[in-house]
Amino acid sequence: MGKDYFRDRTGSTPEPLDLWEPIVIPREEIDEEVERLASLPQPANGRRRSVFVHPRNQKSLGLAPGIEVALDVLKPGERTVPYRQNSTQVNFVIRGQGSSNVDGRIRSTSLYDVWNTPSFVPYWHQNTGSDLYVRLTYSNAALLDMMNVHYVEENPPPRAVAVEEKMTAEDKKRRTSPFGSFPLNDEGAWLMPYEILISPPSVPSPALFWPWKDVKSHLDRLEALGKDYLGRRLYLLYNPMTGRTNGTTPNFFATMTIRPPRIVDRPHRHTSAAVNYYFHGSGRSTVEGEVYRWKAGDLMLSAPGWAVHNHASDDDYVYELTVQDQSLNIAMESLLWQESLKMPLAVLGVDEGFGTNREAAE
């Protein structure tokens, strides 16, 4: 008999994934929650906030296992205290106008603008309009909570930058491996010394801004792609620091999609989970064989990771913001993707990706 921390898995076979159900949170319920938050006395930190939690979630405050979505409300003139944390965020305005200070840079933000908040930079938000200022904030806090490493500070002190200790030449020599990184064998396995392990190449992580009016003008041009076009009419709000993982943050991509009337996507699936916010038009999603209807102002966990799904628009144009934990999955080499159920699945970022018929459709 083993000790309590052993779990016998001898001969255990893989089990099918236990997919969470999709959820549509209707506009009316979001509006009610906004009014409820606005009716509360202003808290000391200025943050009127609710998070959308999936009923199946026992581990974090996520709407998907790795995606937290918060509803943030500020009344006219109100401002939050500064925060900083090691989660990264996609910010999205769904009502009113305000300003956001991220890492000392202040931007005016209004309806459907998107910006990212990098890790561990101070930020605060302010309502500068006469209406409520309402934002959706998507973050990987849910994942970091599960890892028990979500580090958050309110009113953070000025950041101390790690400074190199003063070392004599003799000290330096003693602490530095003379060998650097080098190949161990001709198969490609290397060895890396400690100095490089604790000082990986640093990549500046910018706070970027995608104003809706600029994004929309580019998006509307995608409408010209013919009805036969099999891809999706969208732009990824790309942050170049995420490199080959195609992200808006190192964890998420955010895409803006225009869906012309009566467009039906092909059923497909991916291990990244998708959360959609629809802000124009209406339509339906079919997920694992169940049909879910949605309309402008609804928030939806539309594609739990690996659920087969497709979306279809009704008789009007649909605009939507989609956030997926795709970049993280590319970095982890876990992004299985099946663009059509007739095709084999691929590990995106490792295998050859999928094509569209864009040239034929233009």
Closer to Fe ion by CB, 114 or 275: give it. Answer: 275
Strand order through the sheet with 23-25: 23-25, 299-303, 274-280, 318-324, 253-259, 234-236
> Which residue lies nearer to Fe ion by CB, 133 or 138?
138
CB 44, CB 50: distance < 8 Å? no
The residue behind tokens 């500046």 is 204
Selected range binding Fe ion among 11-19, 199-207, 223-231, 300-308, rule: CB under 5 A: 300-308
The pair phi, psi for residue 99, each rounded to 5°, is: -140, 150
Q: Is the Cβ of residue 90 or residue 303 nearer to Fe ion in the bound state?
A: 303
CB neighbour list of residue 9: distance below 8 Å, 6 or more residues apart: none
Nearer residue to Fe ion within complex by CB, 176 or 340 = 340
Nearest approach, Cβ of 304 to Fe ion (angstroms)? Answer: 11
Residue type, 32: E
Of 320, 279, 302, the residue nearest 23 (C-alpha)? 302
- Which residue stretch of 3-11, 61-69, 302-310, 343-351 sits at the interface with Fe ion (rule: CB under 5 A)? 302-310
User: Closest separation between CB of residue 311 and Fe ion, Å?
Assistant: 8
Between CA 28 and CA 7 the distance in angstroms is 46
Judged by CB under 5 A, the chain residues 177 through 216 that form the site for Fe ion are none
CB of residue 186 vs Fe ion: minimum separation in angstroms? 41
Residue in the shown chain whose Cβ atom is closest to Fe ion: 303
Which is closer to Fe ion, CB of 131 or CB of 351?
351
User: What is the nearest approach in angstroms of Fe ion to the Cβ of residue 270?
Assistant: 6
Q: Residue 47 or residue 232: which is nearer to Fe ion going by CB?
A: 232
Q: How far is the CB of 310 from Fe ion (least distance, A)?
A: 8
CB of 225 or CB of 335, closer to Fe ion: 335
Cα–Cα dist 221/241, whole Å:
26
> Is 89 in contact with 323 (CB distance < 8 Å)?
no
- The three-state secondary structure class of 218 is helix
The C-alpha atoms of residue 341 and residue 362 are separated, in whole angstroms, by 25
Interaction pattern, residues 248-287, with Fe ion; x per rule: CB under 5 A:
----------------------------------------
Decide: 320 and 216 in contact? Cβ < 8 Å: no
Geometric angle at alpha carbon 219, from 214 and 223, rounded to 5°: 150
> Under a CB-based contact definition with an 8 Å cutoff, are residues 238 and 266 in contact?
no
Name the segment binding Fe ion (CB under 5 A); options: 52-60, 70-78, 126-134, 295-303: 295-303
Query: Which of residues 241 and 308 has its CB atom nearest to Fe ion in the complex?
Result: 308
**Number of amino acids touching Fe ion (CB under 5 A):** 1
CB of 265 to Fe ion, least distance (A): 8
Q: Please report how close the Cβ of residue 268 comes to Fe ion at its closest, in angstroms.
A: 6
Answer whether 46's CB lies under 8 Å from 38's CB.
no
Measured from the CB of residue 142, what is the shortest distance to Fe ion in angstroms?
20
Residues in the chain: 362
Q: Under the rule (CB under 5 A), what is the footprint of Fe ion?
A: 303
